Chains A and B, each alone.
Chain A
Amino acid sequence: MAQQPDYSDRPWLDPNATPFIRVQAITKKFGPFTAVDNVDLDIYRGELFCLLGGSGCGKTTLLRILAGFETPTIGTISIDGADMTSVPPYERPVNMMFQSYALFPHMTVERNVAYGLERDGIAKAEIAAQVNDMLSMVELTPFAKRKPHQLSGGQRQRVALARALVKRPKVLLLDEPLGALDKRLREQTQYELMNIQDRLGITFVVVTHDQEEAMTLSTRIAVMDVGRFVQIGTPTEIYEFPETRFVADFIGSTNMFEGRITENGADHVRVRAEEYEADFYIDHGMSIKEGTKVWVAVRPEKVEISKTAPPFGPNQLKGVVRDVGYLGNFSTYRVQLSNTRIVAVTHPNQRRPARGEHEVDWDDEVHLSWAASSAVVLTK
């Protein structure tokens, strides 16, 4: 008897799971401009789902549609089985944490957090207890009587989070939650956010333009461009198996080589890149007709750089180091090929170089190579 696979961490793979949030054929137009273009999306209970994209890609509009601030031109939204399409924001089981935090400047921290509960007509003692719980969770109890302008950026962010969570919404929407924080605080807050999400089990939908943030936070990422989803998948899928050049380029950096399929085997493809006078061999991927124009994408950290030539084979290029960036934990190289194209390579500095001497340095002639499994073939 085949064992039932465990989908509890990955409900999107479970064919029997019912989505918690269903976005169906949503289009939003502002005059002649289409902000969101016929998108479908299923998000499951307990997910931390990221909408990732550049500015103007429609991610914020989609979030605002989920919150109820915008009505979709076409399409429907349902949350936990209930149709939400025309439900006003104040009746949705959804709360939002705004990019600007939108704390009420004329109310104390306490009153800000209590505001949502007061609207629900809960008893005063009960409100006070819940507000206290929430403030202690975000470690703001000593600041309860302060006004927002008496807080630092990080504290304000946590007030905003507490205020949005205190009503125990079914879904929490976060618009660039870490955008206004500095780098150190951002990393710290990132993990706090994940812990809180884990503890409360609330489904999070996060909008961000920061791919690093999306990678660390989310269970799944939807990459958006011009109002559509380009790819939806786990961080690993998005990074290691991008489906288009846009995704490969948007998430991390990548080296792209244009070529044509010369051999379409059962478990591999061969690509000839005339411009580079190079052959590439990729031992995974789809079946693509011979002669098709494709792009071979290799991440900079998957490229080996060496001054000695590797044994003859595919996936090799030769060039001259034009730029070295020593970042301490790793170094970045910009290698110019004979056809003047630049290839980016990053290499961890596992060994401490002798004083003033690096293994690979400016103007060195180097060989670049990568394993057959490292690159991906993209058709669009």
Chain B
Amino acid sequence: MGKRTTFQFSVLCFGMAFLYVPMVLLIVYSFNYSKIVPVWGGWSTRWYTVLFESEEVWAALTLSLKIALMNATFATLLGVLAGIALARFGRFRGRTLFTGMISAPLVMPEVITGLSLLLLFITLGDLIGWPGERGITTITIAHITFSMAYVTVIIQSRLTGMAQDLEEAAMDLGSKPFRVLTDITLPLLAPGMLAGWLLAFTLSLDDLVIASFVSGPGANTLPMLIYSRVRLGLRPDINALATIIIVVVAIGVCIAGWLLFRQQRQRERDMQMAATENLKTGY
């Protein structure tokens, strides 16, 4: 083993440690019996029991999931519309303004977005009496405004990379523009839409700042709950909660990776088959 490989190996170890040690610590401490987090009191699953018995945690989790689902769905819908408009409608009046508005939430600090949305909701409430009380609706609306920007970017870039001749071919074969959209564009966009949906879902589940601004009394999302509890000191039941989230995410990533890998291999096999037949038949 040369000097270089030793060096590479240590860099790799350091990098891995940097990424994963915090998570490992969290998982280990979630099984700590002791009530004081940094003091080791032996293995136990008591904090998991505490967690499952806490209604507050369940309520926050349900709220977060509800918001994330609604947000992901609406953000994808709006993002697809905006992405198609930007990538396929050429130069329309107000396009530059529209592009700017779409990308604003991507670069705007969350604090500003949260604050301005809060102001909007208060003003609206005073003017038309809606939304009367801030909570799930306002958080969802706030999340949609910034997640749709991400979805739009994904859809737009996919459409730009997707050759327009497929759509032209459909039109050439007799499809009116709307039919082209439903027959060709949307099916081909499906992977992009799924990616956008998942991103919007994660963004919403992850958001603390904006939700804190636009939430009202009694509506605590999961990140808000975790943050408010940890502010009063580290708590072992939160460690357990975090461990569960890590495990769920890890399983999800593994399944997605495996599906992708299988699809890729199937594709390669198909192409190889076509190539070999090609040699045999002369075409």
Q: Do A and B come from one complex?
A: yes
Question: In the bound complex, do residue A119 and residue B283 qualify as a contact, i.e. CB atoms below 8 Å apart?
Answer: no
Asked if B267 CB lies within 8 Å of chain A CBs, one says yes
Contacts A100-B163, A105-B188; A185 near B283 (Cβ below 8 A): yes
Question: Could you tell me the distance between the alpha carbons of A91 and B176 in the complex, rounded to whole angstroms?
Answer: 9
Q: Which residues 337-355 in A have Cβ within 8 Å of B in the complex?
A: none
Q: Which of A148-156, A251-259, A367-375 contacts B (4 or more CB under 8 A)?
A: A148-156
Question: In the bound complex, do residue B187 and residue A89 qualify as a contact, i.e. CB atoms below 8 Å apart?
Answer: no
Question: In the bound complex, do residue B283 and residue A152 qualify as a contact, i.e. CB atoms below 8 Å apart?
Answer: yes
Question: In the bound complex, do residue B174 and residue A116 qualify as a contact, i.e. CB atoms below 8 Å apart?
Answer: yes
B7 vs chain A, min Cβ distance (A): 43
Q: Which residues 19-46 in B have Cβ within 8 Å of A in the complex?
A: none
Asked if A74 CB lies within 8 Å of chain B CBs, one says no
The chain B residues found within 8 Å of chain A, CB to CB, are 163, 165-166, 168-176, 179, 183-184, 187-188, 267, 270-271, 273-275, 277-278, 283
Question: In the bound complex, do residue B278 and residue A167 qualify as a contact, i.e. CB atoms below 8 Å apart?
Answer: no
* Best-surrounded residue of B163, B173, B267 (most CB of chain A within 10 A): B173
Question: In the bound complex, do residue B168 and residue A152 qualify as a contact, i.e. CB atoms below 8 Å apart?
Answer: no
Q: Which residues 100-158 in A have Cβ within 8 Å of B in the complex?
A: 100, 102-106, 115-116, 119-120, 139, 147, 149-155, 158
Choose from A90, A106, A147 the contact partner of B174 (Cβ within 8 Å).
A90
Question: Could you tell me the distance between the alpha carbons of A158 and B176 in the complex, rounded to whole angstroms?
Answer: 25
Choose from B168, B170, B183, B271 the contact partner of A149 (Cβ within 8 Å).
B271
Question: In the bound complex, do residue B274 and residue A150 qualify as a contact, i.e. CB atoms below 8 Å apart?
Answer: yes
Give the interface size class of chain A: 35 or more
Choose from A102, A139, A185 the contact partner of B169 (Cβ within 8 Å).
A102
Question: Could you tell me the distance between the alpha carbons of A155 and B171 in the complex, rounded to whole angstroms?
Answer: 23
Question: In the bound complex, do residue A102 and residue B271 qualify as a contact, i.e. CB atoms below 8 Å apart?
Answer: no
Question: Could you tell me the distance between the alpha carbons of A327 and B175 in the complex, rounded to whole angstroms?
Answer: 51
Question: Could you tell me the distance between the alpha carbons of A102 and B171 in the complex, rounded to whole angstroms?
Answer: 12
Choose from B170, B179, B275 the contact partner of A152 (Cβ within 8 Å).
B275
Residue of A nearest to B176 (CB): A90
Question: Could you tell me the distance between the alpha carbons of A265 and B154 in the complex, rounded to whole angstroms?
Answer: 73
A86 vs chain B, min Cβ distance (A): 15
A100 vs chain B, min Cβ distance (A): 6
8 of the cross-chain contacts (CB-CB < 8 Å) are A89-B172, A94-B172, A100-B165, A102-B166, A119-B174, A153-B278, A163-B173, A164-B172
Residue of A nearest to B165 (CB): A102
A170 vs chain B, min Cβ distance (A): 13
Question: In the bound complex, do residue B165 and residue A98 qualify as a contact, i.e. CB atoms below 8 Å apart?
Answer: yes
Q: Which residues of B contact A91 (CB under 8 A)?
A: 174
Residue of A nearest to B278 (CB): A152
Q: Which residues of A contact B274 (CB under 8 A)?
A: 149-152, 155
Question: Could you tell me the distance between the alpha carbons of A147 and B176 in the complex, rounded to whole angstroms?
Answer: 24
Return the CB mask of A279-298 against B: 1 if under 8 Å, else 0. 00000000000000000000
B231 vs chain A, min Cβ distance (A): 50
Nearest first, the 3 closest Cβ-Cβ pairs linking A and B are A119-B174, A116-B173, A152-B278
Asked if A95 CB lies within 8 Å of chain B CBs, one says yes
Question: In the bound complex, do residue A104 and residue B174 qualify as a contact, i.e. CB atoms below 8 Å apart?
Answer: no
A127 vs chain B, min Cβ distance (A): 13
Q: Which residues of A contact B171 (CB under 8 A)?
A: 69, 88-90
Asked if A77 CB lies within 8 Å of chain B CBs, one says no
A68 vs chain B, min Cβ distance (A): 8
Question: Could you tell me the distance between the alpha carbons of A104 and B162 in the complex, rounded to whole angstroms?
Answer: 12
Asked if A96 CB lies within 8 Å of chain B CBs, one says yes
Contacts A90-B176, A154-B278; A104 near B270 (Cβ below 8 A): no
Asked if A36 CB lies within 8 Å of chain B CBs, one says no
Question: In the bound complex, do residue B173 and residue A167 qualify as a contact, i.e. CB atoms below 8 Å apart?
Answer: yes
Residue of B nearest to A152 (CB): B278
Question: Could you tell me the distance between the alpha carbons of A96 and B283 in the complex, rounded to whole angstroms?
Answer: 23
Asked if A67 CB lies within 8 Å of chain B CBs, one says yes
Question: Could you tell me the distance between the alpha carbons of A106 and B170 in the complex, rounded to whole angstroms?
Answer: 13
Q: Which residues of A contact B183 (CB under 8 A)?
A: 115
Q: Which residues of B contact A167 (CB under 8 A)?
A: 173-174
Residue of A nearest to B173 (CB): A116
A185 vs chain B, min Cβ distance (A): 7
Q: Which residues of B contact A88 (CB under 8 A)?
A: 171
Known: A116-B174, A149-B274. 12 other contacts (CB 8 A): A89-B168, A91-B174, A98-B168, A104-B170, A106-B187, A106-B188, A115-B173, A149-B271, A150-B270, A152-B274, A152-B278, A154-B278
Contacts A69-B168, A102-B169, A104-B169; A149 near B174 (Cβ below 8 A): no
B20 vs chain A, min Cβ distance (A): 38
B270 vs chain A, min Cβ distance (A): 4
Question: In the bound complex, do residue B273 and residue A150 qualify as a contact, i.e. CB atoms below 8 Å apart?
Answer: yes
Question: In the bound complex, do residue B283 and residue A90 qualify as a contact, i.e. CB atoms below 8 Å apart?
Answer: no
Question: Could you tell me the distance between the alpha carbons of A119 and B169 in the complex, rounded to whole angstroms?
Answer: 13
B184 vs chain A, min Cβ distance (A): 6
Question: In the bound complex, do residue A96 and residue B172 qualify as a contact, i.e. CB atoms below 8 Å apart?
Answer: yes
Q: Which residues of B contact A103 (CB under 8 A)?
A: 169
Q: Which residues of B contact A68 (CB under 8 A)?
A: 172
Q: Which residues of A contact B277 (CB under 8 A)?
A: 152
Question: Could you tell me the distance between the alpha carbons of A103 and B173 in the complex, rounded to whole angstroms?
Answer: 12
Return the CB mask of A59-103 against B: 1 if under 8 Å, else 0. 000000001110000000000000000001111001110111011
Question: Could you tell me the distance between the alpha carbons of A102 and B165 in the complex, rounded to whole angstroms?
Answer: 6
Q: Which residues of A contact B168 (CB under 8 A)?
A: 67, 69, 89, 96, 98, 102
Question: In the bound complex, do residue B173 and residue A67 qualify as a contact, i.e. CB atoms below 8 Å apart?
Answer: no
Q: Which residues of B contact A119 (CB under 8 A)?
A: 173-175, 179
